[in-house]
Amino acid sequence: MAKALGVGGIFFKSKDPQALMSWYQACLGLPDESKDYASFAPALMPKNGATVFSPFKSTTSYFAPSKREFMINFVVDDLDGALKQVADGGGTLVGDVQSFDYGRFGWFIDPDGNKVELWEPTQG
């Protein structure tokens, strides 16, 4: 059986794709090799980081207050710093930071209304 080896990309529509990409590059330090996309090398992922593929029930409120049917999650090296940068850049923070044995999580709404989750994996 052929098997998927990882997530090859996250693709979605935007009213102004280049402006949104510039916002992410400025607020979260996404690689700036292009005005159209950012690529992440697997070697940049922290030791306890992972890419998660997880369908949610259609009735979930986890993506609220966004009306979108998806949510992007970025692994970050400094959750508090990333949330501050996002807020300083005009993003809207939502919810309280939550901590689990596998890391800390925070959320924001980007300029297009997408809810984004940030995950700082537990060190070790």
Would you state the pLDDT for residue 124? 65
With residues binned 3-state (H G I as helix, E B as strand, rest as coil), the percentages for the chain, rounded to 5, are 20, 20, 60
In this prediction, the residues of the chain whose per-residue pLDDT falls under 70 are: 124
Give the residue ranges of DSSP H helices in 79-119.
79-88
Q: Give the pLDDT of residue 120.
A: 94
In this prediction, residue 6 carries a pLDDT of 80
